[in-house]
Structure 1
């Protein structure tokens, strides 16, 4: 009987279900979008119930009646948008409010207060993170402080909190398993990356009861069983859970110190494996648990960009300059340059290395000569500039220029963007066969959990490179980047 692994990739904009075999070959995929809610300026929410329903629907579309034939042995792996926090009542099973998305900035007052109280160093030392509303803690605190009765219910032990993986596992197992993995835990600002457990001092700092926190397991652990609302006649295993950026690092087979990747999604994550010692991060970066597998813990330097793919979606959905982001490459290359136009997409503030949640997005350099093509090109270029901002800091921290960047995500299909990115970084960009590297990383962890593989070397050989984009550096690229830095500098004064 053949093995089939269903990888759930629950992202900021949709839920994908991808079917892999036991050789990490992608067989099929489905995708179900979910609604984005923006109730106030700076607020970004998701309906956690909708996300669960969409996951079930995606799995049903993926396997259909084949799930009941007995031809294959199925299991589920999960990778997810990180930091987005759900708070729910463990008795009723219902969230007390919409999920607070990682892009949400309502926790900024809490974060500013902690910074003013001199807590930055303590939080960084324990969690590896900067104090910022991007991470889960301040959003959860806000819900407890502002939802009627929430604080009292939390103190009475009636409420649970978790990132999206925790919520999905809890629902899939009908409340039998309340657990998260080390990578998602390390992005909450409540987890101690040295003790590898929830930190009582950090929980007190945000006034979050420990009773709300899930059991923390390795990425390659088993997380219970499920029939997925009766899609399967007998329960199947949930095995392998990790955050999406960490999944991409694993999916790119970056098992060795110094290997790194860029994930181009709604936002973008630049992460490099720094080995088994949680080194302090240089300014503008954070230290997270990169992944835990085969009894070992690996850490990573990471920087997160809030708006990359989201910028392209904004161009299509809000400005309606294009019908679909896939059209942007042809439009961008219809002009020779950006015409002096620069877009700083600080829709939810600026992430690493700036960490300024209060600035707003802006367009610079508009003249009567500027056309739609210049604006579209500037949107694509903004992605490459933001990645370079991070890569330069990371290269300095790791002692030299990055030798290779592994890239994944939908925007890697944009040849103009990939070439411009390579030119900006002066570094080859390696694009792999599986665009959904996060899902592949979850599959790898699933295989470790179920002992399909027992070493990193065995799965590392499965990486298949589709193309390598070599840089074409000119002094013009230095000038363009200099103008970008000036634009960002005007916002961050």
Structure 2
């Protein structure tokens, strides 16, 4: 009997790095993870150490490799890399040393810069070319800030020794010992520097932020041959065959392959992604147009996306900030200890709002407290706040595509919460499908690597596996209740907007 080919996925996230092994049917064989610190040096600032990002990923790789048999190790035919997107790294080409911290996608320190660009009338052109808005979320303003505030970055640029990349680019550089400096089109589409239709870097936008053309990574399709893992690293010699941003990877991992199919991932943030096929759909309501993935020739599948900056961080705050729970799983029992939130609402805008408000000055809000409010009410309000935020994205997406999504596939760590998914079904009116394995992000990039390696003929052949072991959550709330709930939520959200910019008393 022929050995089953295996696929390695490196999944570098905001709070941890993971390494996972799948077979060519997308079944998880083994996995390992390593934590990653996040630093908050000032209000709205979120950064990480680039070397810590790499060290965390290497640690997860080493742990996974140690758990495998020699036979499993021998049968690995390819590796895929997926990553937290928008997070921005600058380093020196000559020695690979970072030129300052990695500015994380949540970082809002460039809000004033983005506002200046808007005041100069630049947003319409940027939005038309890239599908994105002028917001600190994306990489462009982060690059300009680093070039203006980190002496090492300024010097490297002056000496033509600078490399720019998002996290997949940084990891590929480290994995290949500096042999490859590339960015795939899914990640590049989140930088504000790539033309969505032409799938090329926009020179004018790079000039706007002061980024030398020589610092740009080679722009490549999402699957291809991207070198091999260097000799002194875990999984040495394994060919790297796929690069994909984490939300696009999760969409593939959920096998949302047809236009109109959608998934929501609940990780550090929450991200709704709707497949729009080869059609580049645009939204006037704050949804983003983005590149989902490409084939080996660069032919694209596009998506609409809604982005929330805080989801899993809400649970972490209840645990680490308030001490309301001892571990993340406790929030479910606590939420289920009450029949409702008792009128309490928690708006999770800790680091500003993404879709649809795009307000970096928004802040979190806990409202509706009475003397009878309990830990259970706050826990339930926290989960409902995540669900209601996503429900707003679903409504906007359905308006943009002109029909109901019908079903919402979900994944990510917080999707293990039954109360959250019950609230998600009720707040959207959709059936919510939770797969047996929540690691859809790693699975998606592994499957793409498998197609490139020739061990998967067509991802469509795997669609029948979506229902295996899946759990379904159906709405129990009528339309009138849902509308009143959403209206009350919208009122709470409005109160959170512009909080830190002095517009609120």
**TM interval, short-chain normalised:** over 0.9
Bigger mean CA deviation after superposition, 472-481 or 196-205: 472-481
Assess if the C-alpha contact under 8 Å between 1:16 and 1:30 holds in 2: yes
Aligned residue for 2:50? 48
Select which of 34, 37, 50 maps to 1:35.
Answer: 37
Give the SS at the match of 1:223: coil
Task: State how far apart, in whole Å, the 1-side matches of 2:85 and 2:264 are.
Answer: 16
Alignment of 1:279-290 (within 5 A): 279-290=281-292
Matched position secondary structure for 2:95:
coil
Please state how far the C-alpha of 1:279 moved relative to its aligned partner: 2.5
Alpha carbons of 1:366 and 1:159: their partners in 2 closer, same or farther (altered >3 Å)?
same
In the TM superposition, what are the counterparts of 1:79-478 in structure 2 within 5 Å?
79-227=82-230, 229-232=232-235, 235-293=237-295, 295=297, 296-465=299-468, 466-474=470-478, 475-478=480-483
Q: Report Cα offsets for 1:393-448 as digits up to 9, x if no partner.
A: 11011102221111111122111111110011001001112211111110111011
2: CA distance, partners of 1:168 / 1:338: 43
What per-residue deviation string (whole Å, max 9, x for no partner) do you get for residues 77-97 of structure 1?
Answer: 111110001111111211111
Deviation at 1:197, TM superposition (A): 0.9
1:149 to partner: Cα distance: 4.6
- Residues 12 and 84 in structure 2, CA contact (< 8 A), matched pair in contact too: yes
Query: Is the 2:172–2:180 contact (alpha carbons within 8 Å) kept by the matching residues of 1?
Result: yes
Is the Cα–Cα contact under 8 Å of residues 56 and 229 in structure 1 kept in the other structure? no
From the superposition, tell whether residues 65 and 261 of structure 1 become closer, same or farther in structure 2 (CA, over 3 Å). Answer: closer
Taking the aligned partners of 2:247 and 2:119, their CA distance within structure 1 comes to: 30
Contact 2:447 2:459 in 1 (8 A): no
Q: Cα offset for 1:75?
A: 2.8
Unaligned runs of 5+ residues in structure 1 are: none
Distance of 1:96 and 1:456 partners within structure 2? 40
TM-score, with length taken from structure 1: 0.96
**Partner residue in 1 for 2:485:** 480
Say which SS state the counterpart of residue 394 (structure 1) adopts. helix
Structure 1 counterpart of 2:494: 489
Q: Would you say the 8 A contact 2:229–2:237 is kept in 1?
A: yes
1:227-256 deviation digits (Å, cap 9, x = unpaired) = 463434x51101111001000111111111
TM-score, normalization by structure 2: 0.94
Q: What displacement does 1:480 show?
A: 2.3
**Counterpart of 2:503?**
none
Q: Which moved more, 1:237-246 or 1:338-347?
A: 338-347
Counterparts of 2:116 and 2:476, CA distance in 1: 46
Whole-Å Cα distance in 1 between the matches of residues 296 and 284 of structure 2? Answer: 28
Deviation at 1:73, TM superposition (A): 3.2
Say which SS state the counterpart of residue 381 (structure 2) adopts: helix
Counterpart-to-counterpart distance in 2, 1:255 and 1:35: 34
Gaps of 5+ in 2: 499-505
Instruction: Choose which of 59, 62, 65 in structure 1 pairs with 2:61.
Output: 59
Q: Work out whether residues 183 and 246 of structure 1, in 8 Å CA contact, stay in contact via their aligned partners in 2.
A: yes
Contact kept, 8 Å, 1:159 with 1:212, in 2: the verdict is: yes
CA spacing shift, 1:228–1:417, aligned 2, 3 Å: farther
Contact 1:125 1:280 in 2 (8 A): no
SS of the residue aligned with 2:239? strand
- Per the alignment, in what secondary structure is the counterpart of residue 151 of structure 2? coil
Query: What secondary structure sits across from 1:401 in the alignment?
Result: coil
Asked if structure 1 preserves the Cα contact closer than 8 Å seen for 2:407 and 2:430, the reply is yes
- 8 Å contact from structure 2 (residues 361, 497) kept in 1: no
Q: What is the number of residues matched between the two proteins?
A: 492
Is contact 1:333–1:416 with CA below 8 Å preserved after alignment? yes
Distance 1:128 1:71 in 2: 42
Q: Give how far 1:339 is off.
A: 1.4
CA distance in 2, matches of 1:7, 1:163: 18
Corresponding residue for 2:25? 23
Q: Distance in 2 between matches of 1:360 and 1:46?
A: 22
Contact kept, 8 Å, 1:434 with 1:440, in 2: the verdict is no
- How far off is 1:104 after superposition? 0.3
Would you say 1:7 and 2:9 are equivalent positions? yes
The runs of 4+ residues in structure 1 deviating greater than 4 Å are: 65-71
Between the aligned partners of 2:265 and 2:41, the Cα distance in structure 1 is: 28
SS in structure 1 at match of 2:5: strand
Decide whether aligned partners of structure 1 residues 372 and 228 sit closer, same or farther in structure 2, where only a CA change above 3 A counts: farther
Contact 1:87/1:95, CA 8 A, preserved across alignment: yes
1:97-142 residue CA offsets vs partner (Å, 9 max, x unmatched): 1100000001111100001111111010001001100001111110
Describe the superposition over 1:303-349 as per-residue Cα deviations: whole angstroms up to 9, x where unpaired. Answer: 10000111111111111110111111110111111111111111110
Task: For 1:407 and 1:293, locate their aligned partners in 2 and report how far apart those are by CA, in whole Å.
Answer: 24
